[in-house]
Amino acid sequence: MAYRSSGSGYADVAAHFRKRIEDGDLATGDLIPSVSDIREQFGVSAKTVSRALGVLKNEGLLTSRGALGTVVATPASVTSGVDRLPRMARTGRRYGHGEDSTGHRVMIRSVHDPKIARALDVDDSDEVVIRIRTFRQDGRPTSVGVSVYPPRTWTTVTELADEERMSGYFGTIYTERTGREVIPGERIGYLRMASQDELDALEIKVPSVTPVIVFVTDVTFHDEDGPVAYWEDVYAPGEKIRIPAEAGVQ
C-alpha cells in the first residue's frame, strides 16, 4: 500500500526508505522506485525526492547505477545489538541482508570484571550467564557481542543458559513472565585495548606484542527493580558504526 502523509518532506521520504532497508524489505542491489513513482507515492516534488535520495546516498544506504537507477548499497556500517531491537519488534528479524553470527558460546560463571559487577549490581561471587557471538556481514567479522545476565534474569528466562540461540529478545520473554518492562539505559562508547580472544574472534592477526585499539559500546538494561542485563559490542578496527537518531529510545 502506498505510503502517504500530508506535508511529507524529504526527511519523511528518506526515513521511509531507510526503515525499509533496515528491516530487510530492501536488500543490497534492489532497485529503488523512480523519482516519478516516489513523487506519486508521497505527493512531493522532484526536488524533495532528489534531496531525500541524496541523504541516503550520503549515509551509504543507496548508490547510483547509471541508467539502471538507484539501488540499495552494500552495507557500509555495523548495527550494534541494541539497534537490532526496533527491527526485531517491527519484523521479527534478528539480522539484515548478509548479516549472521557465528562462534556462539554460553557460560555460567562468577563475575570477574568489576565494571560489569557494578553495572549489574552483583557481587563477585554471583554467577552470571555470559553469551558471546561474532557478528558478520557477508562473511566478514565486524563485531563481537557479549551479553551478561544476573541471577534474577537468567533464572526467570532460563533459555539464556542454554547453548542454543535465543529465539527472540530476552526482554520480551522477561516482561511476559514478570510483568515488568525492560528498558535500555544510556549507551556509552569508548576506546580500549582488544583482548586476544576478541582479536581471534575478529580474525585480526598481529604479533602478540602489538596493541590493537578497538571501539566499544555498552548498555545496561533495567526494570523497575534494577539492572537485568549488560550488553557490550566490540567493533573491528575500521568498521563504521551506525548510530540512529533514536538510539537508546524504545
Is 64 a domain residue?
yes
Confidence class of residue 12 from pLDDT cuts 50, 70 and 90?
very high
Last residue of a domain, one of 57, 72, 87: 72
Instruction: Give the tens place of pLDDT for each residue, 129-165.
Output: 999 999 999 899 999 999 999 999 999 999 999 999 8
48 and 100 co-located in one domain: no
31 and 115 co-located in one domain: no
145 and 217 co-located in one domain: yes
Instruction: Give the tens place of pLDDT for each residue, 69-109.
Output: 899 988 778 888 888 888 888 888 888 878 899 999 999 99
Residue 244: the pLDDT is 64
Bridge partners of residue 189, in order along the sequence: 217
**103: helix, coil or strand?**
strand
CATH number at residue 218: 3.40.1410.10
Is 250 a domain residue?
no
53 and 26 co-located in one domain: yes
Residue 245: the pLDDT is 59
Give the integer Cα–Cα distance in Å for 25 and 16.
Answer: 11
Bridge partners of residue 147, in order along the sequence: 131, 231
| Domain total of the chain | 2
pLDDT at 168 over 70: yes
pLDDT at 6 over 50: no
150 and 40 co-located in one domain: no
Give the integer Cα–Cα distance in Å for 200 and 102.
Answer: 13
Confidence class of residue 27 from pLDDT cuts 50, 70 and 90?
confident
Give the integer Cα–Cα distance in Å for 128 and 108.
Answer: 6
CATH number at residue 45: 1.10.10.10
99 and 42 co-located in one domain: no
55 and 91 co-located in one domain: no
Confidence class of residue 246 from pLDDT cuts 50, 70 and 90?
low
Element housing 16 (H / E): helix 10-23
What is the residue range of 57's domain? 10-72
Q: Tell me the pTM.
A: 0.82
